[in-house]
Structure 1
């Protein structure tokens, strides 16, 4: 029993001594900086390194043009930004606006008088020559099938009178009262008078007019001015 006590005391004494030694070593490492000897370090000799020659180093190329600032306060300022090689263009139209073609003025004219197929009068000093067609002269005669002629000009005016029947005409014009003759388009109800005359052959369409095909069809069908006799 006594021997075990001695052994325990010796062990505790050893642990105490070992702890003191560790604490002393830590204090020494904390207070004293580590010194290095440069002679003991393995530093390569610069002459042994494969470095490029000074002449072979190429300096970076920088463009000579000026840089346009992009800071928000100066980005669009002509006093700061470089204004060379800039072109002023017209501003675009707003997306919300749309161009709408202006509708022509239409005036309702009462009591039309058929002077000839393609010409209408209103009183003594106002006349309208219908667009896209050539007015048929009253003295015009057309060949008949019996080698004679028939008064197609007079008949054409009669046909226009029957169409109008003293009804008011709606015509494209900016004025209701004028003096002399104007050329425009007129309707009786929804019917375009020029189109009706060309379609039935009582007036010939002008060259290049959109009604030229109607005149050719009337000629082929032999109706109106192209008939062999009045029908």
Structure 2
């Protein structure tokens, strides 16, 4: 017998064995009353000739396997006991309440478009801020220089506004919830606002402040309110 003939016989035998195993497996899984196609239909490669059952019929013919192991056990609700939840594994799981502002919560922030209302007080973003360490003069203040009176308060406020030009000031302020008038140190860029006011004679230094030398220099040079009418 030639080699191709032997190969055909071997392949035919393997197909027969495979078909037999498939039939045995189908008989094991299907119910006893289910019909199993003839071996010749699987060996020849042809499918079942009968009508294909719809999904509802397939669900009805399916049978449960080991339902005592898969189905959940019956629980007695009266025997269930509720226990307290375990504590969180870390601080991230804790819900934090509103934080109470403390003096240490003051921080530097930019106050935009400041407008001077006196020689050392300005308003910005709903806040009223007085420059700390200095004593300004009111806009209705009148100064006298060599028996000549002049409205130094208005001139001081105008000089402060002219220097600010609406530029943002960086000040140490409390949290947003506090909008009361405060005294705070401020800077315009890197320049100390209090130092500029006192050195130009538009405010006086407080006795407990740090601008005493600047006021002495302004008085000696007759700057601002210590000098001639502007």
CA shift in 2, pair 1:103/1:222, >3 Å: farther
| Superposed displacement of residue 221, structure 1 | 1.1
With over 3 angstroms needed to count, the CA separation of the structure-2 counterparts of 1:177 and 1:186, relative to structure 1, is farther
Q: Does 1:133 align with 2:134?
A: yes
- Contact 2:105/2:174 (CA < 8 Å) preserved in 1? no
Which has the larger displacement, 176-185 or 153-162?
176-185
Alignment of 1:3-152 (within 5 A): 105-123=107-125, 125-145=126-146, 147-152=147-152
Secondary structure of 2:141's counterpart equals coil
2:186 and 2:192 in contact (8 A); partners too: yes
- Stretches of structure 1 that go unaligned for 5 or more consecutive residues are 1-101
Equivalent position SS for 1:196: helix
Cα distance in 2 for partners of 1:111, 1:176 equals 17
Which position in structure 2 is the counterpart of 1:227? 227
Q: CA deviation at 1:206?
A: 0.4
Give the TM-score of the pair, scaled to structure 2: 0.52
CA displacement at 1:180 relative to structure 2: 2.2
- Per residue, is there more helix in 1 or in 2? 2
Q: Quick one: distance in 1 between partners of 2:124 and 2:105? A: 24
Distance 1:190 1:113 in 2: 19
The RMSD of aligned alpha carbons is 2.0
Q: Residues of 2 paired with 1:135 and 1:224: CA distance?
A: 12
TM-fit CA distance, 1:113: 1.2
Q: Corresponding residue for 2:162?
A: 162
Report deviation, 1:174: 3.7
Offset, 1:114 = 0.5
Cα distance, 1:103–1:210 mapped onto 2, change above 3 Å: farther
Q: Which residue of 2 aligns with 1:92?
A: none
**Cα–Cα, structure 1 residues 176 and 111, in superposed 2: closer, same or farther, change >3 Å?**
farther
Q: How has the CA–CA distance of structure 1 residues 176 and 188 changed in structure 2, closer, same or farther, with 3 Å as cutoff?
A: farther
CA shift digits 1:28-63 (9 cap, x unpaired)? xxxxxxxxxxxxxxxxxxxxxxxxxxxxxxxxxxxx
Aligned partners of 1:107 and 1:175 also within 8 Å: no
